[in-house]
Amino acid sequence: MSRLISKRSEKVGLRPGSLVHIGERKAEKVTITVMQYDESGAAERVVASIDEIETPREGAITWIDVEGLHDPSVIEAIGRRFNIHSLILEDIVNTGGRPKTDDCGEYIFVRSRYVFFDESQNTVSSEQVSFILGERFVVSFQERPMDIFDPVQERIKSGKGRIRRLGADYLLYALLDEIVDHYFPVLERIGERIETLEDELTNDPSKRTLASLHTLRREMLVLKRSAWPLREVVGSLERCESKLMHDETNIFFRDVYDHSVQIMDAAETLRDMVSGMLDIYLSSMSNRINEVMRVLTVIATIFMPITFVAGLYGMNFKYMPELELKWGYPAVLAVMVAISVWMLLYFRRRKWL
């Protein structure tokens, strides 16, 4: 978060629409992959610049996938090619933005977040994925190379399903559907970790348990910040009346919306479970402290009369008859033991032990 704020400070004083990459550089170089397809076939190639993209044949759909957002010149070239407003380009390079959708007339801008489990850091992370939907094209922007859209590419190449028969809006649906569906494995992974922590919390809670609970709370916050506005994005696309959105694709966006609602329900349930587990941890720690304090209190209470007897006969008065008795010392020890045994039996009878 501090890095994101420091990046934002670089924009102070610049004109609106200035392209300053806000976020970490997650790709070594910007890679542009172009796929053009129609019902008869599909062709894919990697280009060095946006100027190398040929005008598609009549009726073909063009999908331009840009991996890497740290080079503003590439984003500016795409903006000039497709006549994209500078403020939309600014939203693309601002990787810390909230998911949203903007209907700009000739094109629709969609910003979403892809959630995944980062194995290197053993935590949930999210990255921004943006889209520009035009009449016969879709441009997708990713922070770094990912395999999230590989199933869509395979369907286009193989011609399976209806993706090559429908328009660019259906391609946008397919890409958003992949993003939404990747939330479910993350939720399952978090659910498994919660089950493990529940067993640990029941058997032997420790500081490590508390640290894991706080990590889960942060991960649930990442999910909420990504999934909640994403549901609004899909819902607005379903209700969109733009000429770029066709009636036959509304039912598919409605299906994605249903999935996003399921994700939010599951995320809220897991979040409530984590909050409940944190309360259980604090209660168990409090009970453990109470147990320790009860034992210490019992020990102190038992030693109080013994200490009184020892202090009584430890006074340095000359005339103390018991000090002259032959059995005085054993008698005092016997009295101390008797007091201790009686108090232990009394505490056990009262179920204080």
d(CA 221, CA 216): 9
CA 287 and chain centroid, separation: 31
What pLDDT score does 5 carry?
45
Q: Say whether pLDDT at 264 is over 80.
A: yes
What pLDDT score does 331 carry?
84
Tens of pLDDT, residue by residue over 28-55, are 788 888 888 888 788 888 888 787 777 7
Closest CA to 60 of 40, 74, 44, 80: 40
d(CA 137, CA 291): 68
Give the mean model confidence (pLDDT) for residues 110-115. 88
What's the whole-number average pLDDT of the chain?
Answer: 81
What pLDDT score does 131 carry?
92
Give the mean model confidence (pLDDT) for residues 310-322. 78
Give the mean model confidence (pLDDT) for residues 19-30. 65
CA 297 and chain centroid, separation: 45
- Which tokens go with 343? 């108090």
d(CA 20, CA 24): 12
What pLDDT score does 19 carry?
57
What pLDDT score does 250 carry?
85
Write the burial class of residue 241 (CB in 10 Å: 0-12 exposed, 13-18 middle, 19+ buried).
Answer: exposed
Q: What pTM, to 2 d.p., does this model score? A: 0.75
> Domains of the chain, with CATH numbers?
2-284 (3.30.460.20), 290-349 (1.20.58.340)
d(CA 22, CA 12): 13
Torsion sign over Cα 267, 268, 273, 276: positive
> pLDDT-derived band of residue 4, with 50, 70 and 90 as boundaries?
very low
Q: Say whether pLDDT at 70 is over 70.
A: yes
